Amino acid sequence: MFVAIACTPALGQVNVPSKQVAPVPGYCYKATLASWTGQDCYSSAGAAVAAAVAYMNAQVYDGGSFTYWSVYTVVSIPDLSAVSSGTARYTGQRCYSNRACDPVDTTISGLVGKTKVADSCPANAEMGGGTCWCSAGFQPDGTGTACVPQCQVGNVLSSGYYDIGTNAQATPLLWQCKNGCGANFDGESPAGSAMVDNTKHWYAKGQYLGNGIPCTTPSNAPEGLQVLPADSCDPAKYDKGTFNGKTICTLKGTNTPATPAPSASSSSSSNSTTTNNSDGSTTTKETSTTTAANGSSTTTTTTTTTNPDGSKSSNTVVVTTPSPTSDDDEKTACEKNPSDKGCGGSAATIGSSWTSKTAGKSFSSVVSGFVGKVGGTPLVTATRGFFTVSTGGSCPTWSTSVPYLNMSLDFTAFCSSTAMAAYLVVRAVLLVLASWLAFRIALDN
């Protein structure tokens, strides 16, 4: 192992307690054979054993009338972390020039031992005053045995699209540990979707910004994708195709589109109420609501009225509430306007799809029946007739003689055309006030 050691540590790093890191214990390892002792001290026991076996394999021995050599492979190496010496096992063959090879399974006849040498500093650290200090831009990790990049607030550690699963209301991992530094997610969710093996997945988009806090346990957060993945189908079960520019999955060997896997987070609820009406009929109201994983909901309300004669009439109302994040932006032009040219032609006419549910009923008969029912309510009967007023008579005139003036005065101005026009205005105001007052009295009684 090659270790670069700087003679002078970076300015400002020595004697800073927060920068101190434990040194790497220094040892070297040798393997001793009966006929050879490795003179080099290797960085690990495995390297020492490999050198010894390579030496044996390189030798060709003289057996007099023949020669022989070895073809060995290392099988096991002693663990010298707790002991200072041990044996290594190797297997292979000893081959002869005049006959077949013999199998060999044995141990190195000598010892593999370790020797103490000077300690060294871990990567990104420097020696100063007999102690290791993390270099500029690095800091000790949580164990104090390695130097990791210094955590800076605001550093972008990862960015892109992140898969949050099949629930549009889910959130990405809000915190993760990357390269020894903690980071918090900053972005939007959901920011897009893609079909993964016939199942719709939602994605958040943003970046993980460093919070300046060191960490030791790497998180399992995936790397951000620079673009949303292409739609895909499970190749073991489905064939991939397109319809109106949208990816569809069809069962292998058929042209039937596969039903997308339902989201585990969708839910539904329903209830029913029955009311007895004053005319002897009953009204049953059934309501069911289905909420999808993306937050959209569909409420279906069916109202059924059963008349005393047993006949029934019903009405169904469907109300759809879109999700907070609509899929309209992802729809193709034909999906938004299927009746456009090139998208299947004009929309089909209603035709005979709409028919009367009860024989003998028509629009006029239903309206007439409704008017009759309303006319029989107490509210209408209480006010019936109070607007009828009997009137009669003629416009009065008055005249008198004034002897002192030797003339007659005729008071007919109240019956002039001007007065009559004014009376129309006064009558209108009085009728409005009287009608309002009469209506209140009728309701109070």
pLDDT, position 354 = 47
Give per-residue pLDDT as tens, 275-317. 777 777 777 777 777 777 667 777 777 777 878 777 777 777 6
Lowest mean pLDDT, pick from 4-18, 27-41, 339-353, 410-424: 4-18
d(CA 30, CA 51): 9
Q: What is the percentage of the chain residues whose pLDDT exceeds 90? A: 6
pLDDT of 417 > 90? The answer is no
Give per-residue pLDDT as tens, 220-273. 666 888 988 888 888 777 877 777 777 778 777 665 555 555 544 566 677 777
pLDDT of 67 > 90? The answer is yes
Return the residue matching tokens 């205005």: 425
3-state class percentages of the chain: helix first, strand second, coil last, to nearest 5: 15, 40, 45
At residue 109 the predicted structure's pLDDT band, cuts being 50, 70 and 90, is low
Q: Which residues contact 205 (CB under 8 A, 6 or more apart)?
A: 160, 161, 162, 187, 188, 189, 191, 192
Q: Are 45 and 77 in contact (CB under 8 A)?
A: yes
Give per-residue pLDDT as tens, 208-217. 888 887 777 7
Report, as an integer, the average pLDDT of 117-146.
85
Residue 364, CB-side half-sphere exposure with 13 Å CA sphere: 0
pLDDT, position 203 = 92
Q: Which residue has the higher pLDDT, 15 or 11?
A: 15
Q: Which residue has the higher pLDDT, 75 or 356?
A: 75
pLDDT, position 120 = 87
Q: What is the percentage of the chain residues whose pLDDT exceeds 70? A: 70
pLDDT, position 77 = 86
Return the residue matching tokens 């690990």: 44
In this prediction the pTM is: 0.33
Query: Which of 135, 188, 148 has the alpha carbon at shortest distance from 12?
Result: 135
> Which stretch of DSSP H or E encloses residue 431?
helix 417-444
Give per-residue pLDDT as tens, 356-377. 555 566 666 776 777 677 767 7
Q: Are 56 and 72 in contact (CB under 8 A)?
A: yes
d(CA 211, CA 213): 6
d(CA 299, CA 292): 12
Residues in a beta bridge with 199: 196
pLDDT, position 8 = 33
Tell the burial category of 94 from Cβ atoms under 10 Å away from its Cβ (0-12, 13-18, 19+).
Answer: middle
pLDDT, position 353 = 47
Please report, for residues 244, 320, 324, 347, 355, the alpha-carbon distance to residue 337 in angstroms, rounded to integers and kept in the order given.
Answer: 11, 18, 22, 10, 27
Query: Which of 91, 92, 119 has the alpha carbon at shortest distance from 25?
Result: 119
Report, as an integer, the average pLDDT of 132-153.
82
pLDDT, position 161 = 93
Lowest mean pLDDT, pick from 152-161, 354-363, 431-440: 354-363
Coil, strand or helix at 437:
helix
pLDDT, position 3 = 27
Q: Cis omega (within 30 of 0) on the bond before 190?
A: yes
Lowest mean pLDDT, pick from 138-152, 307-321, 424-438: 307-321
pLDDT, position 283 = 77
